[in-house]
Amino acid sequence: MIGKITSGKSFGGCVRYVVQKDTARVLDGLGIRTADVKRTIADFNFSVPQIRS
């Protein structure tokens, strides 16, 4: 994968940028809803406090 370094302000923006490309595929998402980008971001944001504690 060749990446372009950019500066963003949110994790949700990063997920949206990567997942909404025409050629993007989610390979695995155990515990994460992957059918909709909004739900994927919500699941990631929900899991962060549980991981940190």
How would you write the pLDDT of the chain (53 residues) with one tens digit per residue? 667 776 767 888 888 888 888 898 888 888 888 888 899 889 888 877 666 65
Would you state the pLDDT for residue 50? Answer: 64
Question: Is residue 3 one of the residues assigned to a domain?
Answer: no
C-alpha span between 53 and 48 (Å, rounded): 9
Would you state the pLDDT for residue 25? Answer: 86
Query: What domain range includes position 43?
Result: 11-52
Would you state the pLDDT for residue 17? Answer: 85
Would you state the pLDDT for residue 16? Answer: 87
Q: For residues 41 and 15, is the Cβ–Cβ distance under 8 A?
A: yes
Question: Is residue 25 one of the residues assigned to a domain?
Answer: yes
Would you state the pLDDT for residue 53? Answer: 58
Question: Is residue 5 one of the residues assigned to a domain?
Answer: no
